[in-house]
A = this chain, B = another copy of it.
Amino acid sequence: MVDATPESSGRRGRSARREARENRKVRWLPELTRGIPYLDIVSPEELDRIHDASCRILEEVGIEFRDDESIAIWKTAGADIDGYRVRIDRGQLMELISTAPETYTMHSRTDGHDITIGGRKTAFVPAYGAPFVLDMENKRRHATLDDFDNFAKIAQMEPAMHMAGGVLCEPMDIPVPHRHLEMTKSLLQYSDKPLMGSVTSRERAEQSLHMMGIVHGHDYVRDNTVSTSLANANSPLVWDQTMLDAVKVYAASNQAMLFSPFVLGGASTPASTIGAVAQLSAEALAGVAFMQLIRPGSPSVYGQWTATVAMNSGAPLAGTPEIDHINMLMGQLARRYKLPWRCSGGCSSSKLVDAQAGYESARNMYGVLMAGANFVLSTTGYLESALCQSYAKAMLDGEQMRMMIRLGSGVDMSELDPAMGAVREIEPGDHYLGTDHTLANFESAFFMPELMDGDSYEQWNVSGRIDANARGITMAKKVLAEYEEPKLPEETLAELNEFVARTRAETSEMVR
Contact = CB atoms under 8 A, between A and B. Distances in A.
Interface string A397-416: 00010011011001111011
Interface residues of A, number: 129
A494 interface: no
| Most chain B CB within a 10 A radius of its CB, from A278, A428, A456, A469 | A428
Given A274-B413, A428-B238, A322 B454 contact: no
A419 interface: yes
Interface string A299-322: 000000000111111011101111
Interface stretch (A73-81, A202-210, A349-357): A349-357
The 8 A-B pairs at the shortest CB distance, nearest first, are namely A358-B358, A275-B419, A315-B454, A362-B362, A321-B407, A237-B428, A271-B445, A308-B446
A63 B404 CA distance: 35
Contacts of A316: 454
A354 B355 contact: yes
A431 interface: yes
Q: How many copies does the complex hold?
A: 2
A68 interface: no
A354 B309 contact: no
Contact of A354 (B35, B267, B467): B467
B429 A275 contact: no
B360 A363 contact: no
A311 B445 contact: yes
Contacts of A53: 416, 420
A419 B41 contact: no
Interface in A59-105: 60-64, 85
Contact of A407 (B325, B423, B465): B325
A278 B420 CA distance: 8
Interface in A431-461: 431-433, 435, 437-438, 441-443, 445-449, 451-457, 460-461
